[in-house]
Amino acid sequence: MRPRVTLKVATSLDGRIATASGESKWITGEAARVEGHRLRSTHAAILVGVETVLADDPELTFRLPSPLGGEGGSRSETDEGAASALSTSGDAGAADVPLIRAASPPTFSPEGRRQPLRVVLDSSLRTPATAKVATGNTLIFTAAEPRAIGAAEVVPTRTEDGRPAPDAVLHELDHRGVSSVLIEGGGQVAASFLRAGLVDRIEWFRAPILLGGEGRPCVAALALAGLSDAPRFRRLAVQALGDDLWERYERL
């Protein structure tokens, strides 16, 4: 068994998560971002690559509309941008590797709802100790020699080409009782999990703008030998969110 994996992307019509310079706030509208927070609230963990952390400094928490109006929950940012520089796959577990620091206790929203565990793939430990995700309730998977990063827990893991392997990451998360993971970026992280056949669902928020070939793609190279090797999904639903579309897919 492994955690259920959902890939969430927020893109232009042509599948770009940011301009060439990295600008991404905001590609989609407010309604799409609210649904993105709902998705966060239904997953046990949120996973990003270190490039997303460096570009956006996200909190990776959820904030939901209050029944009384306004917003409840923790202040948060969404991660529509920052294609990650990581690429992963590999071959043996790392559950027995000593950890450098125990993670802080889970955090909760003001309504008492548990915030998801935050997971960062950071092959060379570039996450700043001042990053919002370094304040606790965070695992940083790395191929580097472990060292303290704020209050986060640094987890040495199995690698391929010097980078954390997706299946090793999921193995460790399963070992810790994590049942579901929401991947939010960037393109290299998305591609690595797709190449490994580890994405079960896709939640795709698509805005009616075009960023062109110079924009940053939501999925990096998959190294396909042919069309028959392409990951395939079936569409479950399409919903309008203002001018945006929310497309939902599951793996065949």
Q: Is it the case that residue 57 has pLDDT exceeding 90?
A: yes
The reported pLDDT for the residue numbered 223 is 93
101 Cβ contact partners less than 8 Å away, ≥ 6 residues apart: 148, 151, 152, 153, 154
Least confident of 79-88, 155-164, 200-209: 79-88
The reported pLDDT for the residue numbered 203 is 98
234 Cβ contact partners less than 8 Å away, ≥ 6 residues apart: 249, 250, 252
The reported pLDDT for the residue numbered 114 is 86
Q: Predicted confidence band at 66 (pLDDT cuts at 50, 70, 90)?
A: low
The reported pLDDT for the residue numbered 103 is 43
> In 3D, which of 146, 145, 189 has the Cα closest to residue 169?
189
Distance CA 7, CA 99 (A): 27
Q: Predicted confidence band at 64 (pLDDT cuts at 50, 70, 90)?
A: confident
- Residue 246: C-alpha distances to residues 5, 33, 181 (Å): 18, 11, 19
Domains detected in the chain: 4-251 (3.40.430.10)
91 Cβ contact partners less than 8 Å away, ≥ 6 residues apart: 158, 160, 165
Q: Is it the case that residue 241 has pLDDT exceeding 80?
A: yes
The reported pLDDT for the residue numbered 21 is 86
pLDDT tens track for 147-196: 999 999 999 999 877 789 999 999 999 999 999 999 998 899 999 999 99
The reported pLDDT for the residue numbered 38 is 96
The reported pLDDT for the residue numbered 25 is 83
Q: Is it the case that residue 85 has pLDDT exceeding 80?
A: no
Tally of residues, the chain: 252
Distance of CA 126 to the CA centre of its chain: 17
The reported pLDDT for the residue numbered 3 is 98
Is the pLDDT higher at 198 or at 81?
198
The reported pLDDT for the residue numbered 159 is 87
Conformational region of residue 65, where left means phi above 0, alpha means psi within -120 to 50, and beta covers everything else = beta
Q: Is it the case that residue 62 has pLDDT exceeding 80?
A: yes
**What average pLDDT does range 18-27 have in this prediction?**
87
Question: How much of the chain, in percent, has pLDDT values that exceed 70?
Answer: 81
Q: What's the predicted TM-score (pTM) here? A: 0.82
- pLDDT averaged over the chain? 85
pLDDT tens track for 93-129: 444 433 444 444 444 444 456 899 999 999 999 999 9
The reported pLDDT for the residue numbered 162 is 74
